[in-house]
């Protein structure tokens, strides 16, 4: 099995979202403004982070995505402060609900969201789209 590349996959998902939503860079002064908007807009978007009510993919698919990516999971847990006593409660809860892989996958997707947004905007800029101040 090949290692699932979260940043590449989420970048592609964001590019699809930008296209589907006819994202217009000219509404933003610069990349920083666009990144901030997209972070807020995409954080709970299931098709990007899985952080909504439906998740990104099935439990089985998320198990495959996680293979060889536990380092990202631990980085995400540290970043979001989940390595405290609540982590065991969360792990137990999601294990009992049979959505542990989906929970872990979502944590990673949220963790790499900003990197993927930056990559997607660089690509979008490469298509010739311009910011308000350009």
Over residues 57-80, mean pLDDT = 92
pLDDT band at 84 (very low <50, low <70, confident <90, very high): low
Q: Which two tokens stand for residue 47?
A: 């098709």
The per-residue pLDDT for 101 is: 93
Write the Ramachandran bin of 22: left for phi over 0, alpha for psi from -120 to 50, otherwise beta: left
pLDDT digits (tens, 9 = 90+) for 22-50: 999 999 999 999 999 999 999 999 999 99
CA atoms of 103 and 87, how far apart (whole Å)? 12
Report CA 102 to chain centroid distance, whole Å. Answer: 13
Domain ranges of the chain: 6-126
Rounded Cα distance between 67 and 49, Å, is: 18
Tell me what pLDDT residue 121 has. Answer: 97
The whole-number average pLDDT for the span 110-133 is: 94
Residue 129: band (very low, low, confident or very high) from pLDDT cuts 50, 70, 90: confident
- Report residue 35 CA to chain centroid gap: 13
How sure is the predictor about 83, in pLDDT bands with cuts at 50, 70 and 90? low
CB 75 within 8 A of CB 41: no
pLDDT of residue 53: 82
């Amino acid at each position: 099995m090949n290692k699932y590349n979260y940043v590449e996959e989420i970048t592609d998902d964001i590019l699809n979202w930008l296209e589907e939503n006819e994202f217009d860079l000219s509404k933003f002064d610069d990349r920083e403004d666009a990144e901030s908007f997209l972070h807020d807009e995409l954080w709970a978007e299931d098709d990007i982070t899985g952080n909504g009510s439906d998740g990104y993919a099935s439990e089985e698919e998320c198990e495959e995505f996680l293979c060889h990516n536990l380092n990202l999971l631990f980085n995400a847990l540290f970043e979001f402060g989940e390595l405290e006593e609540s982590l065991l409660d969360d792990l137990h809860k999601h294990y009992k609900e049979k959505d542990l892989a989906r929970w872990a996958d979502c944590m990673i997707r949220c963790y790499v969201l900003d990197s993927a947004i930056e990559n997607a905007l660089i690509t979008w800029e490469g298509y010739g789209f311009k910011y308000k101040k350009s």
